[in-house]
Amino acid sequence: MFTPVETTIGAFLLHQATSILLHNNGTILGASEYMRRLVSKPTIGVAAFFAGMTASFPLLRLVLPELLTKYPPSPSTSGQALITVAMGILVGWGTKAAHGCTSGHMLCGLSRLSGRSALAVAIFFSVALVTHHLVHPSLMTSVCTSDLPCYTATYPTQATTNLLVALAAVTITAGRLIPRIAARLSKVTKNAEDKSDGTSLARHATELFAGLEFGLGLHITQMSNPAKVAAFLSFPRLEVWDPSMLLVIAFGILPSLFENLMKGFNKSPRFNKKYELGKKTFADTDWKLVLGAVAFGIGWGMSGTCPGPAVLRSVAQPAWGVLWMGGFWLSGVFLTDEPEGGMCG
């Protein structure tokens, strides 16, 4: 069902995650690229990001356990296991060829007015929508089980709303302040002669909180729930359509867009010499990006899972994670070119 309160607050957490990583460290929150770096180029910063995502589980379990994502059962047959591996390969190859996924292209790319990201999002969203309709023709999902239309809004209790607002406020405040405190401790300030220290305490603190806010945002919006994503892709059949993802676009992307327009990228980020952004434009679009976006759209439309949510599900269901992540990393065998700038979007 449509969850406007939870989705709005969770989407703002997603905005904060991408914002602090971009304007503190100068890097893009590309979940698929972070996952590849975990294997190909592991660093303390990468570990900090995934530690933050993992920490979203005990934090929510302590404060608002009802908002933890409820996943379908892990594969129990060899056929289901093979399909899970295949979905990992499809999403892995697609996101690598397209140089990004829903986080790198949609959350980060659109908010930077990237033409390449706009094209990639248009392709993989359209393909996912068509794929979902073809593969799941009933369009029924586990989040739309009542007699009411799935777009009917449901609201949390006042107590839950208060806790949710408090959790978001504390997390966002800590994510903004603690890296600055860490900067003072490690003597990495905006006026320092060398701000490129990739092992600085401030940069690691930023990645830790970016991961935490990203994980919390995925849980709270329920974009980590494959059924919730599938319900959005059921459009235009309104009785089974959950419009929650529209609020993710509104409150996850638009605040970042306004912030990027106000701050710009002419000055250096807080803890780095410069912004590490790709230099390719819409004119540099090639067949790999288009085919990659199509492949990712097919995998996303079939399974409702993209790289960020896959990390969370792997923590909750390690058996599923071994299969899906194994396929994701195996996809690198079929495409060896690294995305420009080393990050998605």
CB atoms within 10 A of CB 258: 12
- Amino acid identity of residue 143, one-letter, is V
Can you give the pLDDT at residue 198?
43
Across the chain, mean pLDDT equals 91
Instruction: Write the pLDDT tens digit of every residue in 207-245.
Output: 999 999 999 999 999 999 999 999 999 999 989 999 999
What does the H/E/C string look like for the chain? CECHHHHHHHHHHHHHHHHHHHHHHCCCCCHHHHHHHHHHCCCHHHHHHHHHHHHHHHHHHHHCHHHCCCCCCCCCCHHHHHHHHHHHHHHHHHHHHCCCCHHHHHHHHHHHCCHHHHHHHHHHHHHHHHHHHHHCCCCCCCCCCCCCCCCCECCCCHHHHHHHHHHHHHHHHHHHHHHHHHHHHCCCCCCCCCCCCCCCHHHHHHHHHHHHHHHHHHHHHCCCCHHHHHHHCCCCCHHHCCCHHHHHHHHHCHHHHHHHHHHCCCCCCCCCCCCCCCCCCHHHCCHHHHHHHHHHHHHHHHHCCCHHHHHHHHHHCHHHHHHHHHHHHHHHHHCCCCCHHHCCC
pTM: 0.93
146 pLDDT band, cuts 50/70/90, is confident
Mean pLDDT confidence for 160-173? 98
Distances (CA, A) of 250 to 19, 55, 111, 227: 15, 26, 11, 21
Range of the domain at 255: 4-342
Total structural domains within the chain: 1
Most confident of 59-63, 135-139, 189-193, 236-240: 59-63
Task: Scan for tokens 């996303």, then name that residue.
Answer: 300
Whether the CB-CB separation of 344 and 117 falls below 8 Å is answered with: no
